Amino acid sequence: MRTLLPVLLLAALPAWAQEAPSGCGPLCGEWTLDATRSDQVEPLVEAALKDYKPPRTRRPRLPEPMNGAQAVANAQMESSLEELMEPPDVTELRKDLLRSLPSRATLRISGRNAQILIGAGELPDRIVEPGRPHSRVDVEGTAEIKTRWKSGALVITEKYDRKRELVESYKIQVDGTLAVDRLIERPGLKDIRVQSVYVRSAGAGPGAG
């Protein structure tokens, strides 16, 4: 009996929990935010900013000036490097975090062949494909994006550099709700974790993958 129990439990799991689903699988459909069961983003951001410590930047060594003109050129170069390497102030960092961690009022998730489309409100759909990395260039720089299925969850990782990363996880809970978990990492800042809970929109059943 003990030997059969793990096998029976595994058989009781839905197919999408055992292997990567086709298309968007159980995530397909239209979803509405349940604000009463979701984290409030602003308090979490403010709590993290209280302990924010701007990271130290290591200034590159410039060659010793051989003459006055070289000294002037070095000074100008150092000034430019300081501007580029200067960490964001709290105001700009707050704007960046709130922009990266929104709790959208509605979500729509659909599948197109191997691709998964994730839309929110009037925003254009995001297109991801598990197992197929891609990149995106925006005001923050170049983000390397990887998507995969892990334990029944769709996990999307956006990484700009070694210390700047956003990880999103989309997973159906036991009660049928959709949990969207987001983890953001920034230099000098404690990790911020936000969970948003969605219920299926009225009259909207699971879509086709």
Boundaries of every domain in the chain: 22-51+91-200
When the candidates are 3.20.20.70, 2.40.128.20, 2.30.42.10, 3.20.20.150, the CATH number that belongs to 22-51+91-200 is 2.40.128.20
Higher-confidence residue of 52 and 175: namely 175
Interhelix angle 90-100/41-50, nearest 10 degrees: 150
Q: What is the pLDDT of residues 55-83, one digit of tens each?
A: 766 555 556 655 666 655 555 555 554 44
Tokens read off for 112: 């197109």
Q: What is the pLDDT of residues 81-120, one digit of tens each?
A: 444 445 568 888 888 888 888 889 999 999 999 999 999 9
Higher-confidence residue of 173 and 57: namely 173
Higher-confidence residue of 64 and 181: namely 181
pTM tops 0.85, yes or no: no
Tell which residue, 150, 184, 181, has the closest CA to residue 166: 184
